[in-house]
Amino acid sequence: MGLSEFALIERIRARAAGRDDVLLGIGDDAALLQPPAGQALAVSTDTLNLGVHFSADVVPADLGWKALAVNLSDLAAMAATPAWATLSLSLPTPDAAWLDGFLDGLLALATAQGVAVVGGDTTHGPLSISLTVIGFVPADQALRRDGAGVGDGVWISGTTGDAAAALALGDAAPAALRERLHRPTPRLALGRALRGIASACIDISDGLIADLGHLLVASGVGAELCIADLPISPALRALDDPRRLDWQLAGGDDYELCFSVPAAQEAALAARLGEFDVAPARIGRIVAGSGCRVLDAEGRPLPLARAGYDHFERR
């Protein structure tokens, strides 16, 4: 079923939930929003393009979920609470069934996290989704990339490599791994719990080594990781694939958090573990210098096949 641009917008508007701080939502020239007093805004934008970030056989609901999840993951890494999103949707054909499926996924996550879709743009073009999310965080409690200090522990939430394995194996991948690729969970509760505890934080979208590398550069430090300490999901372990370690270290699309914690804060971190459903693990430490060394179980440095993901370099 083909829809006009205005019918598309109306279809989105009719399903978008509100919030008390949305003074005016979809349907005017701009949304009007009431920010809370005493907090900073955290704003993130991410775009997903067909053929670059997802393939033509993606389930629309998974795409809707993921488009929001990758943005919320950025807010999680800042320890922010998400509030509002704008959606820019370019579609080759205005298809009602596709849009409804897409909204099913997007709004499921939006509802779960209390996010209101307040505006955006729908237009003709190659399939592309660009979302901007806005959240709140007290300015002095936001987690940045540049605060890691020598001696801090390096931690990650959950497990890495699952999404990369699913991408590499396609339909042959176990359902648990495909779920991780298509329905990543932004670690918002964990990010907020790290306020006052973590010294720096980043979300892992391009691969553990690449994203940790950004944190290290921003902080002016280096790191040593021990592969023996890398958490691995039961599904990935069961694969027993020789590419496993590469996926864990350099695979993208995990949307876990990587963060540094000063030794003095480790007790505080341990005390809060019960607050979030994903266990963080200590995988190494911040050292003086630059770059990331990965040590094998015997403490020998490991050569790394690739450093991470660049949307231009790989295509």
CA–CA separation, 277 vs 190, rounded Å? 8
Window of 31-39, 242-250, 272-280, 286-294 that interacts with a copy of itself by CB under 8 A:
31-39
Residue 219 CB, nearest approach to a copy of itself (Å):
12
* 13, 31 Cβ separation under 8 angstroms: no
Nearer to a copy of itself, 57 or 313 (CB): 313
Nearest to 195 by CA among 65, 40, 64, 61: 40
> Does residue 123 touch a copy of itself according to CB under 8 A?
yes
Nearer to a copy of itself, 173 or 200 (CB): 200
3-class DSSP state of 122: strand
Among 1, 13, 18, 32, binds a copy of itself (CB under 8 A): 32
> Does residue 139 touch a copy of itself according to CB under 8 A?
yes
Window of 124-132, 150-158, 229-237, 266-274 that interacts with a copy of itself by CB under 8 A:
124-132
Q: What are phi and psi of 275, to 5 degrees?
A: -80, -15
CA–CA separation, 221 vs 259, rounded Å? 13
CA–CA separation, 295 vs 293, rounded Å? 6
Among 84, 155, 247, 255, binds a copy of itself (CB under 8 A): 84
Contacts of 275 (CB under 8 A, 6+ apart): 189, 193
Residue 53 CB, nearest approach to a copy of itself (Å):
7
Contacts of 147 (CB under 8 A, 6+ apart): 198, 199, 200, 219, 260
Residues composing the chain: 315
> Does residue 88 touch a copy of itself according to CB under 8 A?
yes
Q: Which residues inside 3-22 make contact with a copy of itself, applying CB under 8 A?
A: 3-6, 8
Nearer to a copy of itself, 109 or 118 (CB): 118
Nearer to a copy of itself, 93 or 299 (CB): 93
> Does residue 313 touch a copy of itself according to CB under 8 A?
yes
Sign of the dihedral through C-alpha 3, 8, 10, 16: positive
Nearer to a copy of itself, 18 or 301 (CB): 18
3-class DSSP state of 77: helix
> Does residue 37 touch a copy of itself according to CB under 8 A?
yes
Q: What are phi and psi of 136, to 5 degrees?
A: -125, 145
Size of the site for a copy of itself (CB under 8 A): 71
Q: Which residues inside 171-230 make contact with a copy of itself, applying CB under 8 A?
A: 201-203, 218
Window of 129-137, 149-157, 247-255, 275-283 that interacts with a copy of itself by CB under 8 A:
129-137
DSSP secondary structure string for all residues of 196-240: TT-SEEEEESS-HHHHHHHHHHHHT-EEEEEGGG----HHHHHH-
Nearer to a copy of itself, 134 or 165 (CB): 134
Nearer to a copy of itself, 135 or 161 (CB): 135
* 308, 206 Cβ separation under 8 angstroms: yes
Among 66, 145, 178, 182, binds a copy of itself (CB under 8 A): 145
CA–CA separation, 220 vs 49, rounded Å? 33
Among 63, 80, 107, 292, binds a copy of itself (CB under 8 A): 80
Q: Which residues inside 270-289 make contact with a copy of itself, applying CB under 8 A?
A: none
> Does residue 156 touch a copy of itself according to CB under 8 A?
no
